[in-house]
Amino acid sequence: MQVIKLREDYIKLGQALKAAGLVENGVDAKFVIQDGLVKVNGCIETQRGKKLVAGDLVEFDGEQIKIED
């Protein structure tokens, strides 16, 4: 499981996928999110701009990302 530390109050879902190295760029993030391949807290999320806050858990391609303060 990867951990992303917040620098601000939140990070957007697409940015989190890029920061964790699970996608190459924003375009790739857009497509995997739109295709319903990403879950946030166990639910499929289709909004690339979804704001993630401390405690959120992202799942994609067998990997997990935990958002922390």
Residues of the chain with pLDDT under 70: none
pLDDT of amino acid 53: 98
The string of pLDDT tens digits covering residues 53-64 is 999 999 999 999
Q: What is the pLDDT of residue 8?
A: 95
Q: What homologous superfamily is domain 2-68 in, according to CATH?
A: RNA-binding S4 domain (3.10.290.10)
What confidence score (pLDDT) does residue 27 get?
Answer: 96
* Confidence at residue 45, expressed as pLDDT on a 0 to 100 scale: 98
Beta-carbon contacts of 5 under 8 Å, excluding residues fewer than 6 positions away, are 68, 69
User: Which residues on adjacent β-strands are paired with residue 59?
Assistant: 39, 64
Q: Structural domain boundaries of the chain? A: 2-68
How confident is the model at residue 68, as a pLDDT? 97
